[in-house]
Amino acid sequence: MAYQDLREYLQALEKAGKLKRISREVDKDWEISAVARVAFQNIPEKERPALMFENVRGYDIPVVVGVLGGSRAIYALALNTRIEEIASKWAQAQKNPLDPVIVNTGPCKENILTGNDVNIFQFPVPVWTVGEDPGPYLTAPFVVTKDPETGIRNVGTYRCQLKERDKLGVWINFVQHGRRHVEMNNARNRPTPVAIVLGADPTVGLTSVSRMAYGLDEFAVAGSLRGKPLELVKCETCDLEVPAHAEIIIEGEFLANTLEKEGPFGEYPGYMGAEADSYVMKIKCITYRHKPIYQAFLSQMPPSESSCIRGIGREMGIYKHLVHDLRLPVKDVYLLESGGSSAYLAISIKQEHEGQAKHVMWAAWSVDPTLGKFTVVVDDDIDIRDPFALNWALSYRVQPHKDVQIIHGTPAVRLDPSQASEEVPQLDTSRRLSSKMGIDATKKHRYPLVALPPKEHLLKVREQWKEYGF
């Protein structure tokens, strides 16, 4: 069954014991970030709840954090599925998108503000890396634009700095689809109509942060994920459509050929991301539901909500390509959260012939050439989600002079601070190229037997473990 909106989904989270309501008054300018951080540091992933700050000083709007990526279990709930089914659910949805339907009106139109009434500061938007970020940031904006030639919609999540009551700075990196739209319009010196969705049915956010093929409408994939077309309404001031049941919609345009300083911003590798020359969004209209709920993602230092949701989405994309398109014998794909779900990729395979591990690496890099700066391919007896097992494979199935390849001049993750020093701006060309290390950690020849007691002995001892007095 599809969740109709964020509210219905929050009820489901609560029922599953995965929503922690915090009724104590909190300050949005330092405390929400710190409480969310301590929750991610203190509570083991399996038990971690989403957070609802019900009492934000100076506002009567609650803030929710971690509702899509507090943990893998929460992510599965957002998709209304089990952890083991996440991959196939994504693969199915991308293969069979379900177009949204346009309806006349919806709750997101309950309040409509235009002209001088527009004020983005009326919402409790937190400051994340206090003392370093220049101000509050929207971290869970679902940014809707259209290809000016085909009219095909795109939805992506790009950080937004609150600058003035009607002005945002939006950083969209060079591979993103939203950027393509802005640049197509810039070439004609035209502004780009844009609508930002804040708080919606969870499939909207999950598709917004996951990379799809260009031209695939994220709202259609969301429809397929939820098993029911999304209902969209027309924007008030531009030719875009947004989810009718969204909490808050910010309408406006990216000014043509206009860049302004934005950032620095605490980013997902766990470091400050440099200041950037970013797009400028002029806000023309804000619509919202009665008693809106403000949704944010926790990013910055991993593990975070960002590393959880980006990791799962990207692993799925790579897994689908390797297994469904190329029929490679891949068992599991994992972007380690310590690598910000970007830098460090591990893949396990049941190797059919020599050299296949290399094929797997190249194929994985072809899905997204910025991912997997370190890519390790292991045999299927290794659980790549267990760092101990992964490091054991690296330790004794690799000869560096034979099994490691370094590839130069690959597209870079510009937020990787090893790429350039802090003073170099995000869009500087020196940040464009990186390199990769591919490590074939599969067994390349016959191996000695593993030095462990026989399986049946271990099983027996496990069964009667208590009898040993533990």
Ligand X SMILES: Cc1cc2nc3c(=O)[nH]c(=O)nc-3n(C[C@H](O)[C@H](O)[C@H](O)COP(=O)(O)O)c2cc1C
Note the residues at the interface with ligand X (CB under 6 A): 139, 154, 156-159, 171-173, 176-178, 209-211, 297, 299, 306, 309-310
**Residue 295 binding: pick among Mn ion, ligand X, none (C-beta 5-8 Å cut-off by kind):** none
- Contact between 177 and Mn ion by CB under 5 A: the answer reads yes
User: Which C-beta is closer to ligand X: that of 9 or that of 297?
Assistant: 297
Closest approach of ligand X to the CB of residue 146, in Å: 12
- Contact between 224 and Mn ion by CB under 5 A: the answer reads no
> Which residue is at the shortest CB distance from ligand X?
156
Helices (H), 201-287: 202-208, 218-226
Q: Inter-axis angle of helices 305-319 and 86-95, to 10 degrees? A: 60
What is residue 48's DSSP assignment? Answer: P
CA pair distance 194, 119, nearest whole angstrom: 17
Closest approach of ligand X to the CB of residue 340, in Å: 11
Q: Which stretch binds Mn ion (CB under 5 A): 42-50, 150-158, 290-298, 322-330?
A: 150-158
∠ Cα 417 422 425 (to 5°):
100
**Residue 284 binding: pick among ligand X, Mn ion, none (C-beta 5-8 Å cut-off by kind):** none
How many chain residues bind Mn ion (CB under 5 A)? 3
CA pair distance 54, 206, nearest whole angstrom: 24
Closest approach of ligand X to the CB of residue 309, in Å: 5
Closest approach of ligand X to the CB of residue 277, in Å: 13
Closest approach of ligand X to the CB of residue 406, in Å: 26
CA pair distance 97, 78, nearest whole angstrom: 18
Q: Which of 305, 9, 322, 292 is nearest to 125 (CA)?
A: 292
Sign of the alpha-carbon torsion through 203, 204, 208, 213: positive
Sign of the alpha-carbon torsion through 446, 451, 457, 463: negative
Q: Which stretch binds Mn ion (CB under 5 A): 49-57, 147-155, 236-244, 378-386?
A: 147-155
User: Which C-beta is closer to ligand X: that of 221 or that of 398?
Assistant: 221
Residue type, position 285, single letter: C
Q: Inter-axis angle of helices 218-226 and 86-95, to 10 degrees? A: 130
Closest approach of Mn ion to the CB of residue 155, in Å: 7
Q: Which two tokens stand for residue 137?
A: 């940031």
**Residue 108 binding: pick among Mn ion, ligand X, none (C-beta 5-8 Å cut-off by kind):** none
Q: Which two tokens stand for residue 150?
A: 């085909």
Q: Which stretch binds Mn ion (CB under 5 A): 72-80, 211-219, 228-236, 307-315?
A: 211-219
**Residue 307 binding: pick among ligand X, Mn ion, none (C-beta 5-8 Å cut-off by kind):** none
User: Which C-beta is closer to ligand X: that of 114 or that of 173?
Assistant: 173
- Contact between 154 and Mn ion by CB under 5 A: the answer reads yes
Residue type, position 435, single letter: S
Contacts with Mn ion by CB under 5 A lie at 154, 177, 212
